[in-house]
Amino acid sequence: MSETFVFDTGPLRHFALAGWLGVLKYLTQDNYVVIPESVEAELLEQRHSHASLEQVLNADWIAVDHGDDIQYLAEFARYEKRLVAGGRNRGECGVLALGRCYGYTMIVDDRVPRKIADDEKLRARGTLALLCEAIREGQLTVSMVESLADDLLTGTYHLPFKPGGFRIWAAGQGLID
């Protein structure tokens, strides 16, 4: 059964910068992938300094939701009051609003929006959960995800382990054998 994934800026941005965006496409195949207009805006703002973000903006497997119904706009405004500071975090507001309004599975790695999603009993997952699930299902290998995680850590992406630490961390969390 397919589902709809709504991605936050962070996972798409960092996977694209590290050259691993194709992994997210592979893992979400047979599902619908959407980003809110607020995530698109964040990516558009950053594309001038990171040309590889064009591959996210031009991806035919990612649709942009321009959310103009009243329920979505009200939820976006509610999250905006909680999360937006200095013009930041509008992407998370759109992701949470789409998740809340339509029951989409949110792919978000930041702690605060994940906590909000948990508190409101919304479906949210982090990219590490997606990757570990793919390992358990035989879609990816531990070695491949170790390389991917180490590449992500060469940038500014925050993961709960240091380079070379994925396998020990994932096993310690009971996410892989």
Which amino acid makes up residue 113?
P
Distances (CA, A) of 94 to 70, 77, 141, 160: 13, 9, 32, 25
d(CA 174, CA 177): 7
Q: Is the dihedral of CA 70, 30, 23, 114 positive or negative?
A: positive
pLDDT given for residue 86 in this prediction: 85
pLDDT at residue 3 greater than cutoff 90: yes
pLDDT tens-digit map of 27-52: 999 899 999 999 999 999 999 999 99
CA distance 2 to 52: 28
Q: Answer whether 95's CB lies under 8 Å from 123's CB.
A: no
pLDDT of residue 67: 85
